[in-house]
């Protein structure tokens, strides 16, 4: 048994599985840092996965390798549009943000399969895409034994996700925009007093949230599954929320948590390969991320501090 | 008569009504966009539900679990909690009642009630995990209950695989006949539609919901804590205990719902590939019903008709069944954002004021 190869594969798979979670939990981060609860990440991912697959399908004959990029871009736009109702309901109409999120999850699940059936003549899934993202090997570096395969051979979306983590960290903690965003989520009244447009900031944050979460979904349909069906996303949006909480609403933390949940995913196949299912049932590995999240939230693994104004609609001029 | 009109024009009643209409309109627009005839589709939906005795009976079967999960969500709501975990509590109920139904050999008058009670307790305990974590550790019940839904799904599958599913099969052994709550004669009357005692239990549960919340001291406490935990605490109520109690009772409703699906409809438990969905629909039902027991029953009837009738839309007008999810989603959305609905209602209310008074 070659442990080097096994671990190399494990790291490689972890990165593949984590990419979607990183995108989506970063998406959640923008929204929640601005004070808007976003349990609609799942729905936004579904819309992204669906749009990515359909647009890529439409253009794969004429654009070949460029088609998945077009699909990815379209997914982001669709995500932004899909996020708008959540913003309108929770910011302008001061709706219960959780309920509005639940509604969007419902909507995405129904709408995506409905449209798929219309576009693909009644089939519940898109045709398998002939053109999806292929892995990029970083010249020179990917020749390093073990490490090369583990880290320097990945889908372009994975590289993009890691860049996004850095960009988000920089934007949130090092720029005036980030300061305003956090202020709006921590103490909207104070932010309002110093002339920050609370509603505008929140609208922006929820929109960005939609783009990133949709990219997360598109990552799945354009790399691992090569099509879209009703179970393409299957709960990853909820794991992304878990990653966000686990990572204490910090980009690096969210990334770390996403990687951790990615490990849990890739270990699943490892456990099956080695016949370890006799000792550890796969169901328990499936459960792990959720149980850990509950434990984290209960403070058994460490406190997690949500933005202070999370979930509270803001009334202009309120005290 | 005037009083009746007043009830039906109250804003609390108008909001869900307008939300339903807006939801159906959204569905119609989606159908038009997809090249379908909405009028034909909705007619086909109605025809499916009321067209035959069998289908009508099956619609009642569809409505029953929705009443249970609707009550589960609504009960928690009344006490200031948002129970997104009805799904997991429902699963807990299914698993426990399957276990009792398969494992024991008892006379029917003990076995069936025992299996139902096991489901109720399992659902209640599953619900109270989120309640306990909220009370003891201050954890937001929304996220924990979402996470617990997934834990219930996988844990349930594991329990089934480990103890009740014969190897190579995808479902458990059948429960013993003595644990069945199917009503044979009624089922025959409806061309063997799967009707069961669970429906009656659901109505009793709704009455219990009303009595416990509005007619008992303990219910007063539960509602007080929901309305204002700080004031309740000051008044000497044990807020934490009430939170756990509320989640337990809510979970019990969902648990019985799961139990009656197993004991009354399927008579076995299949390995689940996805969540059953009744818990999430329960959120919609509770919201539409304004978190009142009667409202929940009405909401469940509406959603039962929509989801069961969706199959008719498919055969009658070619509309994919998923469309009904779009309608349900829109209804939840418009109820949540009732501010939007009020924009639509305002002109109606104004007209009434001018005309009526």
Q: Which residues of B touch A298 (CB under 8 A)?
A: 133, 137, 139, 144
Query: How confident is the model at residue A23, as a pLDDT?
Result: 97
Alpha carbon of residue B138 to chain centroid: 27
Cα B56 to its chain centre, rounded Å, is 19
Condensed to tens digits (0 to 9), the pLDDT of residues B17-30 reads: 888 999 999 999 99
What is the token pair recorded at B17? 């009504």
Residues 6+ apart with CB under 8 A from B64: B196, B198, B199, B202, B257, B260, B264, B300, B304
Interface test with B, best of A92, A95, A102, A289 (most B CBs within 10 A): A102
- Taking the C-alpha atoms of residue A266 and residue A289, their distance in angstroms, rounded to an integer, is 13
Nearest chain A residue (CA) to B274: A234
Tokens read off for A280 = 């550890």
Nearest to A314 by CA among A224, A222, A158, A201: A201
Residue of B157, B332, B340 lying closest to A106 (CB–CB)? B332
- pLDDT score for B74: 95
Interface pTM (ipTM) of the complex? 0.86
A111–B325 C-beta distance less than 8 A: yes
Q: What is the pLDDT of residue A302?
A: 60
Q: Which residues of A235-249 are buried (b: 16+ CB within 10 A; e: fewer)?
A: bbbbbbbbbbbbbbb
Beta strand residue intervals within B123-232, DSSP E = none
Q: For residue A65, how many other CB atoms are within 10 A of its CB?
A: 11
| pLDDT less than 50: residues of chain B | 1, 356-357
**What is the pLDDT at residue B274?**
83
A102 vs B137, B161, B283: nearest CB: B283
In terms of pLDDT, which residue wins out, A1 or B141? B141
pLDDT value of residue B357: 43
CA distance to partner chain B, nearest, from residue A41 (Å): 13
A150-155, long-range: CB within 8 Å, 24+ apart, which pairs? A150/A7, A150/A8, A150/A9, A150/A11, A150/A12, A150/A15, A151/A11, A151/A12, A151/A15, A153/A12, A154/A12, A154/A15, A154/A16, A155/A16, A155/A19, A155/A219, A155/A223
Nearest-CA distance A200 → chain B (Å): 19
- Please choose, from the candidates B179, B206, B165, B170, the residue with its C-alpha nearest in 3D space to the C-alpha of residue B292: B206
Does the distance separating the beta carbons of B147 and A242 come in below 8 Å? yes
Contact between B332 and A103 using a beta-carbon 8 Å cutoff: yes
- Crossing angle of helices B53-78 and B217-227, rounded to 10°: 70
Closest A-chain CA to B77: A99
In chain A, which residues have their Cβ closer than 8 Å to the Cβ of B41?
Answer: none
Q: Which two tokens stand for residue B335?
A: 């109820």
Strand pairing of A136-137 and A153-154?
antiparallel
For residue B336, CA distances in Å to A97, A266, B11, B22 come to 8, 38, 14, 13
Q: Within a 10 A sphere around the Cβ of B329, how many other Cβ atoms?
A: 26
* Among the partner residues A85, A234, A241, nearest to B333 by beta-carbon distance: A85
The tens digit of pLDDT for each residue in A67-82 reads 999 999 999 999 999 9
Q: State the Cα angle at A58 between B314 and B30, rounded to 5°.
A: 35
Task: Note whether A129 and A60 are within 8 A (CB).
Answer: yes
Cβ A104 vs Cβ A82: under 8 Å: yes
Mean pLDDT of A228-240: 91
Determine the 3-state secondary structure of B325 from DSSP: helix
- Cβ count near A94 (within 10 Å): 15
pLDDT at A279 over 80: no
Per-residue model confidence (pLDDT) at position B356: 46
What CA–CA distance (Å, rounded) separates B126 from A19?
A: 32
Report which of residues A311 and A11 the model is more confident about: A11
Token representation of residue B201: 């239990």
pLDDT score recorded for residue B155: 96
Residue A274's CB is within 10 A of a number of other CB atoms, namely 12
What is the Cα–Cα distance from B174 to B168, expressed in whole angstroms? 15
Residue of B nearest to A310 (CA): B140
| Cβ partners under 8 Å of residue B316, min gap 6 | B40, B41, B43, B44, B45, B47, B48
Of A85, A93, A242, which has the smallest distance from its Cβ to B339's Cβ?
A93
User: Half-sphere exposure of B239 toward its Cβ, with a 13 Å CA cutoff?
Assistant: 18
pLDDT of residue B7: 53
Q: What is the DSSP letter of A137?
A: E
């Amino acid at each position: 048994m070659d442990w080097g190869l096994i671990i190399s594969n494990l790291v490689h798979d972890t990165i593949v599985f984590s990419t979607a979670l990183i995108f989506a939990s970063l998406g959640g981060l923008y929204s929640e840092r601005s004070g808007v609860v976003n349990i609609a990440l799942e729905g936004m991912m579904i819309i992204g996965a669906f749009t990515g697959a359909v647009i890529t399908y439409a253009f794969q004959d004429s654009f070949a390798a460029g088609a998945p990029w077009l699909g990815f871009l379209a997914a982001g736009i669709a995500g932004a549009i899909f996020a708008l109702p959540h913003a309108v309901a929770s910011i302008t109409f001061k709706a219960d943000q959780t309920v509005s999120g639940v509604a969007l999850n419902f909507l995405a699940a129904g709408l995506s399969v409905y449209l798929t059936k219309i576009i693909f003549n009644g089939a519940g899934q898109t045709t398998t895409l002939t053109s999806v993202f292929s892995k990029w090997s970083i010249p020179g570096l990917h020749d390093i034994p073990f490490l090369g395969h583990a880290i320097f051979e990945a889908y372009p979306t994975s590289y993009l996700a890691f860049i996004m983590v850095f960009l988000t960290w920089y934007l949130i903690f090092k720029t005036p925009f980030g300061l305003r965003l956090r202020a709006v989520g921590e103490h909207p009244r104070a932010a309002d007093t110093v002339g920050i447009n609370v509603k505008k900031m929140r609208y922006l944050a929820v929109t960005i949230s939609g783009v990133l979460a949709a990219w997360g979904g598109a990552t799945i349909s354009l790399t691992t599954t090569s099509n879209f069906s009703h179970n393409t996303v299957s709960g990853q949006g909820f794991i992304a929320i878990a990653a966000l909480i686990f990572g204490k609403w910090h980009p690096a933390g969210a990334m770390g948590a996403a990687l951790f949940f990615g490990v849990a995913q890739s270990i699943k196949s490892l456990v099956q390969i080695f016949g370890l299912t006799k000792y550890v049932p796969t169901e328990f590995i499936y459960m792990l991320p959720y149980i850990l999240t509950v434990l984290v939230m209960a403070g058994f693994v460490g406190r997690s501090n949500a933005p202070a104004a999370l979930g509270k609609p803001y009334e202009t001029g309120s005290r | 008569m005037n009083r009746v009109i007043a009830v039906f024009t109250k804003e609390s009643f108008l909001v869900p009504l307008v939300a339903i209409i807006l939801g159906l309109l959204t569905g119609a627009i989606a159908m038009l966009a997809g090249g379908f005839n909405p009028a034909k589709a909705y007619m086909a939906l109605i025809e499916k539900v009321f067209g035959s005795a069998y289908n009508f009976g099956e619609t009642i079967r569809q409505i029953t679990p929705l009443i249970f999960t609707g009550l589960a969500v609504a009960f928690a709501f009344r006490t200031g909690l948002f129970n997104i975990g009805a799904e997991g509590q429902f699963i807990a109920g299914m698993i426990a009642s399957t276990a009792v139904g398969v494992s024991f050999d008892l006379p029917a008058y003990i076995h069936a009630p025992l299996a139902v009670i096991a489901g109720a307790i399992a659902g209640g305990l599953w619900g109270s995990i989120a309640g306990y974590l909220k009370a003891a550790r201050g954890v937001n019940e929304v996220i924990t209950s979402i996470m617990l839904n997934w834990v219930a799904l996988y844990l349930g599958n594991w329990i089934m695989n480990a103890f009740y599913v014969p190897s190579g099969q995808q479902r458990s052994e059948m429960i013993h006949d003595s644990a069945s709550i199917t009503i044979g004669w009624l089922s025959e009357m409806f061309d063997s539609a799967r009707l069961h005692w669970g429906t009656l239990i659901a109505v009793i549960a709704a009455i219990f919901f009303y009595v416990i919340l509005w007619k008992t001291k303990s219910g007063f406490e539960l509602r007080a804590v929901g309305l204002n935990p700080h004031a309740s605490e000051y008044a000497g109520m044990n807020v934490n205990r009430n939170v756990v109690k509320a989640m337990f009772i809510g979970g019990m409703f969902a648990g019985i719902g799961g139990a009656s699906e197993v004991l009354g409809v399927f008579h076995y438990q299949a390995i689940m590939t996805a969540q059953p969905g009744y818990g999430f629909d329960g959120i919609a039902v509770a919201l539409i019903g304004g978190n009142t027991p009667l409202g929940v029953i009405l909401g469940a009837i509406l959603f039962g008709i929509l989801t069961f009738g969706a199959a008719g839309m498919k055969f009658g007008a070619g509309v994919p069944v998923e469309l009904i999810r779009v309608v349900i989603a829109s209804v939840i959305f418009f109820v949540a954002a009732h501010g939007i609905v009020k924009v639509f209602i305002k002109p109606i209310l104004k007209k009434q004021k001018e005309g009526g008074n």
